Amino acid sequence: MEVTRLFDILDRYLQEYPEQKVALAGKVNTEWREYSPKEYYDLVNCISCGLLEDGIKPGDKVALISGNKPEWNMVDMAVMQLGCIIVPVYPTISESDYEYILNHSEAKIAIVEGAKIAEKIKSVSANLQHLQKMYTFNKVEGYPEFAELVENGKNHLNLDKLKELKSAVKPEDCSTIIYTSGTTGTPKGVMLSHKNIVHQIMGIIMTPSPWSKRAFSFLPLCHAYERLLVFMYQYLGMSVYYAQNLGTIAENLREVHPTMMTAVPRVLEKMFDKVYNNGKKLSGMKKKIFYWAIDLAQQYKIQDFERSAWYNFKLKIADKLVYKQIRAGIGAENFDIIVSGAASIQPRIASFFSAIKMPVFEGYGLTETSPVISVSCRKKYGREVGTVGFPLPGIEVKIDKDTNEVMCRGNNVMMGYYKNPELTKEVIDPDGWFHTGDCGYLTEHNQLVLTGRLKNIFKTSFGKYVNPQAIENKFEESPFIENMVVFGENQKFPAALIYPDFSFLKLWCSRHDVEYTDPVDIIKNPTIIARFNRELDKYNAFFGDTEKVKKIKLISDEWSQATGILTPTLKVKRGVVAERYKKEIEELFA
């Protein structure tokens, strides 16, 4: 069955995969609540009819503010099949951002997680010009529950009306407005059509193996990257299981035993660190074998023809002795792929997971590009560490010869920024090329390699250009460093703020008889400062004189989404760091 609008995926699911027992699943308390494709389809229709009873008409906007759960997908499909526009919003943003997005999008109805979000919206409700009603997934006094919306739709089910509304929706119509979380500035409303996203699905459906039928999801669905992959899972008739929260990923993985998942590099780094540290509990020959296998995995070459027969022989032994147990501990005994995105992954991490039979595929794109521009694939040279694969079919990529900026053109380029044609013209030129703001180059095999953000590159007082992202990526290979931000615009040298990996630091202290009290005290400890300076010397060796980081400052404040420093995909908001630590940065260059 042909899919031209996103909600067509539901009809296709029922027609093509009648044997599939579980379409969506989420954990409620201690039990997994599983929804069959038919139950999913019926609930979507009930939600649509409930929204019609609330007066929602084609073209209206509905905001969805919640963590991942099967009901998220149901609302998503229900809104779109009415010819309405879904506005997914992060559940972790501020009251002022909720006020801006709800007003700017003109959302008439909001469906939210529970009390915390409801309170935030309530605090700015007097300033909301368009919002007429708010439902909550969890019971919150004073607000109608989502179950009431479903029940109302069930009591007023009008399938003929739904069929009429669905048939009126064109592939070129706007399906969603996604407000970019970004690392700076006011959120921008990215308009994506059904056609934009459907073309993306068609471009990536060959990524999973045909036997891969169980996906695990924990990245925010309101992020274009995770949402696209979940659309793809449904198109391929896969079951989607949602993690309860970020803290239960390990536990849920062991319960679900997925064949595929998406991740961001920081999550994979944490998984690797846990595996690595588990080896420290071993002793004698077992410990030696374990770390021999870990070192072997980090030397793994992605391309088959780059690995020698001797290496492959050692790999088989390591798999029987070590990797098999690692996979069992993760809950990934029969695994197909991990798709990593949102940031560059360290080569050793990509090699490790690929070696233990959890192959890492990398993707790249932006919300404005629906979101994928390029992704790894199974063709020759399709997966190579340090690259983000080939551009998807139907997407042209070129590199600006003066700035090395990556540009793309094709069906993936957004309709534009909502209510902001001037800003749209700034990023999409008259020939249809979208300017990504990222720097990079294409290899001889047409693989895309990224080198940093154009706007982040700075010039020292000696007139030398420095790419801070390249430096940060290298330094963050250190187990001591969780995040690093390099500064140096118009200064004599680069310097950096470092947020240590305090979990690793605590382990290191216990092994070296250094008293660990708390983050505030430990970063002042002369032994720790000296240890970080050794890391500084180690990683500076990879750079030229003008790029070497001459001074560092360790930061004890928490860098997280909750403190406003990390985006939902765990990228550092450079502008926020520059403003919050203005004094510390000035001291580095004093």
pLDDT of 94: 85
pLDDT at 580: 93
The pLDDT value recorded for residue 134 is 97
Are the C-beta atoms of 549 and 540 separated by less than 8 Å? yes
> CATH homologous superfamily for 8-169+205-256?
ANL, N-terminal domain (3.40.50.12780)
What value does the CA radius of gyration of the chain take, rounded to a whole number of Å? 25
SS3 of residue 157 by DSSP: coil
Query: One fold for both 8-169+205-256 and 457-588?
Result: no
The DSSP symbol for 156 reads: T
pLDDT of 69 reads: 97
The helix/strand/coil state of 8 is helix
The two structure tokens encoding residue 421: 């044609």
210 phi and psi angles, rounded to 5 deg: -55, -30
Confidence at residue 183, expressed as pLDDT on a 0 to 100 scale:
47
Q: Do residues 452 and 471 touch, judged by C-beta distance below 8 A?
A: no
* Neighbouring-strand partners of residue 361: 339
Locate tokens 């004599």: which residue?
492
546 CB neighbour count, 10 Å cutoff: 15
Spacing of C-alpha 182 from chain mean position: 12
pLDDT along the chain (590 residues), means of 10: 95 93 94 96 98 97 97 98 97 90 97 96 95 96 96 97 97 96 73 97 93 94 94 97 90 94 88 89 94 96 89 96 94 91 81 94 93 91 87 95 94 96 95 94 93 84 84 90 92 94 91 91 94 95 91 93 82 88 92
What CATH number does the domain located at 457-588 have?
3.30.300.30
Q: Residue 258 carries which side chain, given as an amino acid letter?
A: P
Residues facing 62 on adjacent strands: 86, 109
Question: What pLDDT is stored for residue 181 in this prediction?
Answer: 63
Largest Cα separation within the chain, whole Å, is 74
CA distance 375 to 447: 9
Looking up tokens 């590009």 gives 369
Say what the pTM is: 0.85
The tens digit of pLDDT for each residue in 527-550 reads 999 999 999 999 999 998 889 999
Q: Write down the domain spans for the chain.
A: 8-169+205-256, 457-588
Q: Are 192 and 171 in contact (CB under 8 A)?
A: no
Tell me, what's the pLDDT at 119? Answer: 96
Q: Tell me how far apart the terminal alpha carbons of the chain are, to the nearest angstrom.
A: 66
State the pLDDT at residue 185: 64
What phi and psi values does residue 486 have, to the nearest 5 degrees?
Answer: -100, 135
